[in-house]
């Protein structure tokens, strides 16, 4: 071997041993991506709007094992970042969501898994505790029909977290049409860019009564409304020539089915703070939490001159959305401007007869300074009135879900 070749080999061997002790091992760079696994909820799961959804998952590095909690990130394609942890509990907007769990290892490699879930309006009932007395009405002038303020006691009831959406309306109506019910079709709110998550409108009081019975039957509950005081024939025909207006003696108030709230129930839910205190009658629902009406109510100045999807603004203290603005809401009661002067103290249900039925809450078409969004304000329409500014929310007697 030539001398130059021997020297070159010695140099190479020497370089190989420099900085590499006998017990030191050079770990190869890890280029494998970590894996993400969503354990709950399952793909395709459905939830009621406002529900707290529990998301759990894991992240695993192929060499180092489980990843730290801050290495896991949950996102929704509709709502954005949901949280960073192996477990995240949150509510999501009413929509179809693609929820992704993204995991990142120490070298910046990422992996992900996605599921599809839906959040819909549904009934979304909120339990309202019984009250031994709240000051219904308002002594200061609003429209001249809200006084005198008077003490009202209510049994426990449940009321819709949301105005009834077109999605829920049509889902029940499809069943109702196949089971002997007659009612108007209803539409997706009013204005531009309407969707099934807008409140149903263009329905009259009788439509709401028949629809509530259909919803009750569909869900295996006892219907509330009947065609006579004998309470034998179900109220099913809301057409002009069908079942007409009915009185409180045609209502099974102890039934567990769906119904319209009474005016007293609606106002208590709209003014609710903590079960004892209520918010002022001359302010919007949620005023005690959000004094700026823009935060709680859709009206002419912020609604793009149309209805809006339910639950997009802040809820009141009870957790109910849109009790001021968006659409007027039908209530059970007949209207009488002097009714408050001799209203029963316990569970008032309105006059025995009348010409108009109560609606509450105001709508998207009113000014932010108008009286209609005030929680004590009383409005009324003929029972056969259909309006693109009018809808409703549902109620059930008793406590529970």
142-158 residue pLDDT tens: 888 899 999 999 999 99
**Lowest-pLDDT choice from 25-29, 116-120, 256-260, 380-384:** 25-29
Of 99, 120, 141, which residue sits at a domain end?
120
Listed in sequence order, the residues at least 6 apart from 120 whose beta carbon sits closer than 8 Å to its beta carbon are: 46, 47, 48, 49, 94, 165, 167, 168
For residue 379, pLDDT over 60 is answered with: yes
Answer yes or no: are the C-beta atoms of 315 and 343 closer than 8 Å.
no
Q: How many domains, the chain?
A: 2
Together in a domain, 113 and 126: no
Of 104, 120, 136, which residue sits at a domain end?
120
Together in a domain, 62 and 131: no
**Residue 336 covered by a domain:** yes
**Residue 15 covered by a domain:** no
CA distances from 82 to 55, 89, 97, 395 (A): 10, 9, 12, 32
Highest mean pLDDT among 1-5, 113-117, 142-146: 113-117
Together in a domain, 174 and 194: yes
Domain with residue 186: its CATH number is: 3.90.1580.10
Together in a domain, 258 and 354: yes
Domain with residue 89: its CATH number is: 2.60.40.10
**Residue 310 covered by a domain:** yes
Together in a domain, 105 and 67: yes
39-91 residue pLDDT tens: 988 897 767 666 678 899 999 999 889 999 999 999 999 889 999 999 999 88
Residue where the block lists tokens 């079960």: 275
170-209 residue pLDDT tens: 999 999 999 999 999 999 988 878 888 999 999 999 999 9
For residue 237, pLDDT over 70 is answered with: yes
Answer yes or no: are the C-beta atoms of 223 and 251 closer than 8 Å.
no
Together in a domain, 278 and 379: yes
Together in a domain, 102 and 205: no
**Residue 164 covered by a domain:** yes
**Residue 9 covered by a domain:** no
**Lowest-pLDDT choice from 236-245, 314-323, 325-334, 342-351:** 236-245
**Lowest-pLDDT choice from 7-21, 49-63, 327-341:** 7-21
How far is Cα 346 from Cα 323, in angstroms, rounded to an integer? 23
Answer yes or no: are the C-beta atoms of 164 and 201 closer than 8 Å.
no
* Residue 251: pLDDT band with limits 50, 70, 90: very high
pLDDT given at position 93:
76
pLDDT given at position 267:
98
Is the previous residue joined to 385 through a cis bond, with omega within 30 degrees of 0? no
Of 77, 99, 120, which residue sits at a domain end?
120
Together in a domain, 240 and 314: yes
How far is Cα 205 from Cα 379, in angstroms, rounded to an integer? 13
pLDDT given at position 242:
84
Percent of the chain with pLDDT over 70: 90
Q: Please state, as a whole number, how many other Cβ atoms lie within 10 Å of the Cβ of residue 169.
A: 28
Together in a domain, 199 and 292: yes
Together in a domain, 206 and 339: yes
Together in a domain, 262 and 308: yes
Nearest alpha carbon to residue 176 among 238, 120, 116, 132: 238
262-291 residue pLDDT tens: 999 999 999 999 999 999 999 999 999 999
**Residue 24 covered by a domain:** no
Question: How high is the mean pLDDT of the chain?
Answer: 88
How far is Cα 133 from Cα 153, in angstroms, rounded to an integer? 4
* Residue 241: pLDDT band with limits 50, 70, 90: confident
**Residue 239 covered by a domain:** yes
**Residue 229 covered by a domain:** yes
The residue segments making up the domain with residue 75 are 35-120
pLDDT given at position 19:
43
How far is Cα 170 from Cα 176, in angstroms, rounded to an integer? 9
pLDDT given at position 45:
77
How far is Cα 374 from Cα 281, in angstroms, rounded to an integer? 6
Together in a domain, 369 and 340: yes
How far is Cα 105 from Cα 82, in angstroms, rounded to an integer? 20
């Amino acid at each position: 071997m030539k001398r130059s070749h021997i020297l070159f080999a010695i140099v190479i061997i020497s370089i190989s041993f420099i900085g590499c002790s006998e017990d030191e091992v050079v770990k190869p760079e890890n280029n494998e991506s970590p894996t993400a696994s969503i354990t709950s909820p399952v793909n395709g799961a459905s939830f009621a709007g406002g529900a707290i959804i529990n998301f759990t998952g894991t992240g695993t590095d192929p060499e180092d094992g489980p990843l730290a909690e801050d290495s896991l990130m949950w996102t929704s394609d509709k709502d954005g970042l949901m949280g960073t942890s192996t477990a995240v509990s949150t509510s999501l907007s009413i929509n179809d969501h693609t929820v992704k769990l993204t995991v990142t290892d120490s070298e910046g490699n990422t992996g992900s898994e996605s599921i599809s879930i839906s959040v819909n309006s549904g009934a979304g009932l909120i339990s309202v505790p019984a009250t031994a007395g709240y000051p219904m009405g308002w002594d200061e002038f609003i429209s001249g029909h809200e006084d005198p303020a008077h003490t009202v006691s209510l049994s426990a009831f449940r009321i819709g977290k949301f105005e009834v959406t077109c999605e829920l309306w049509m889902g029940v109506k499809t069943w109702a049409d196949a089971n002997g019910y007659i009612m108007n079709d209803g539409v997706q709110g009013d204005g531009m860019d309407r969707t099934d998550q807008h409140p149903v409108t263009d329905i009259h009081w009788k439509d709401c009564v028949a629809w509530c019975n259909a919803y009750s039957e569909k869900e295996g509950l006892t219907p509330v409304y009947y065609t006579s005081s004998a309470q034998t024939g179900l109220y099913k025909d809301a057409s002009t020539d069908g079942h007409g207006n009915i009185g409180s003696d045609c209502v099974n108030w102890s039934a567990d089915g769906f119904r319209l709230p009474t005016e007293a129930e609606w106002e208590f839910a709209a003014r609710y703070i903590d079960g004892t205190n209520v918010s002022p009658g001359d302010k919007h629902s949620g005023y005690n939490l959000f004094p700026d009406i823009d935060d709680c109510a859709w009206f002419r100045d912020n609604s793009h001159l149309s209805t809006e999807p339910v639950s997009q603004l802040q809820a009141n203290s009870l957790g109910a959305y849109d009790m001021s603005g968006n659409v007027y809401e039908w209530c059970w009661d007949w209207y009488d401007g002097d009714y408050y002067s001799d209203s029963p103290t316990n569970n008032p249900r309105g006059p025995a007869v009348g010409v108009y039925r109560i609606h509450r809450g105001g709508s998207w078409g009113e000014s932010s300074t108008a009286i209609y969004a005030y929680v004590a304000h009383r409005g009324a329409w003929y029972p056969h009135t259909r309006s693109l500014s009018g809808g409703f929310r549902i109620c059930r007697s008793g406590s529970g879900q």
